[in-house]
């Protein structure tokens, strides 16, 4: 795999692309604030090139996300639309109905179920598990759930994972996500169904959203994915045949340093490739 081209800003490569699929957490913000330069980069790309869709593994319907971005300080002029793992996950949940589900995750994610005809049940009476995250992601760890997951696996219950992310960087602190529980569940021999990055369903929804914003189909070879997660953003882009820009600076989940050698080693270890790398999302 060729090493990524390091760029100072998006303007250096913008003329190669007609659309962006941009990760949220770790690229646009850290859960507390929008990173410096991000708003300008996205606004300038939209002005000069084409649509921007925020592509996030948030386990919630897309309608919730713009309000969250407002509160963090990202102007609506920076993007055309939002696609979430929650959007892609709802179809998988509907396909499991009318079997009752065991709900594994915090109440803040309950918006995922709005409008769905879904019944919930204790684990011993459930037909499948929906995992949106840990019950308390501020204090719990994935290992706290091993016994519960082992029980579900022993019963042969499939799991729908609404957020394939393992961790996110929340204001400098790493917070466990649903993907960490799904990883344990798979190791226990159970089946996990994913809707978010790096899996295909979310990209089908995202490309359709880009086409809606542009008023025409956008070719994948004219689309750029921007993300900080090697196993989600970059792996997903590779599987879709879309170029990727890896954001390797502070605030994301990339580990191992932002230097050329460290990034090349991390990409090789993960078995993925990025066309470009940068320490942050800026225009220049």
Q: Which domains, ranges and CATH numbers included, belong to the chain?
A: 5-86+200-278 (3.40.50.1000), 91-194 (3.40.50.1000)
pLDDT interval class at 242 (50, 70, 90): very high
Beta bridge partners of 29: 25, 34
pLDDT interval class at 169 (50, 70, 90): confident
pLDDT at 195: 84
pLDDT at 45: 98
Has residue 53 got a pLDDT over 70? yes
What would the two tokens of residue 111 be?
Answer: 């918006």
What is the mean predicted confidence (pLDDT) over 273-278? Answer: 96
pLDDT at 257: 61
What is the mean predicted confidence (pLDDT) over 114-133? Answer: 96
What would the two tokens of residue 94 be?
Answer: 């509907």
Per-position b or e across 103-137, b if 16+ CB within 10 A of its CB: bbbbeebeebbeeeebeeeeeeebbbbbbbbbeeb
pLDDT at 252: 47
Has residue 239 got a pLDDT over 60? yes
pLDDT in tens, 64-99: 999 999 999 999 999 999 999 988 899 889 999 899
Q: Which of 38-42, 198-202, 234-238, 252-256 has the lowest mean pLDDT?
A: 252-256
Pick 242 or 261 by higher pLDDT: 242
pLDDT in tens, 252-262: 454 556 678 88
* DSSP string over 120-173: B--GGG-SEEEE-S-S-TTT--GGGGHHHHHHHHHTT--EEES---SEEEETTE
Cα 243 from Cα 127, distance rounded (Å):
39
Cα 109 from Cα 114, distance rounded (Å):
10
**Percent of the chain topping pLDDT 70:** 96
Has residue 234 got a pLDDT over 70? yes
What is the mean predicted confidence (pLDDT) over 133-143? Answer: 95
What is the mean predicted confidence (pLDDT) over 107-121? Answer: 94
β-pairing verdict for 167-170 and 173-176? antiparallel
pTM: 0.85
């Amino acid at each position: 795999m060729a090493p990524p081209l390091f760029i100072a800003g998006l303007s250096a490569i913008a003329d190669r692309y007609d659309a962006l699929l941009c990760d949220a957490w770790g690229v646009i913000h850290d859960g507390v604030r929008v990173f410096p330069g991000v708003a300008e980069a996205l606004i300038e790309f939209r002005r000069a090139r084409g649509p921007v869709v925020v592509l996030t593994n948030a386990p919630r319907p897309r309608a919730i996300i713009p309000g969250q971005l407002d509160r963090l300080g990202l102007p609506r002029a920076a993007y055309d639309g939002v696609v979430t793992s929650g959007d892609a996950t709802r179809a998988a949940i509907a396909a499991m109905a009318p079997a009752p589900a065991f709900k594994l995750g915090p109440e803040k994610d309950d918006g995922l179920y709005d409008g769905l005809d879904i019944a919930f049940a204790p684990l011993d009476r459930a037909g499948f598990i929906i995992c949106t995250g840990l019950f308390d992601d501020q204090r719990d760890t994935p290992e706290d759930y091993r016994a519960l997951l082992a029980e579900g696996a022993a019963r042969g219950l499939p799991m729908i994972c609404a957020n394939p992310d393992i961790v996110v960087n929340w204001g400098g602190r790493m917070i466990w996500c649903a993907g960490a529980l799904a990883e344990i569940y798979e190791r226990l021999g159970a089946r996990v169904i994913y809707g978010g990055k790096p899996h295909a369903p979310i990209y089908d929804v995202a490309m359709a959203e880009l086409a809606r914003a542009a008023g025409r189909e956008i070719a994948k070879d004219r689309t750029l994915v921007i993300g900080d997660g090697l196993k989600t953003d970059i792996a997903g882009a590779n599987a879709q045949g879309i170029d990727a820009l890896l954001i390797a600076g502070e605030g994301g989940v990339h580990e191992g340093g932002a230097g050329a050698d460290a990034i090349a080693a991390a990409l090789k270890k993960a078995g993925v490739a990025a066309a470009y790398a940068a320490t942050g999302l800026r225009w220049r």
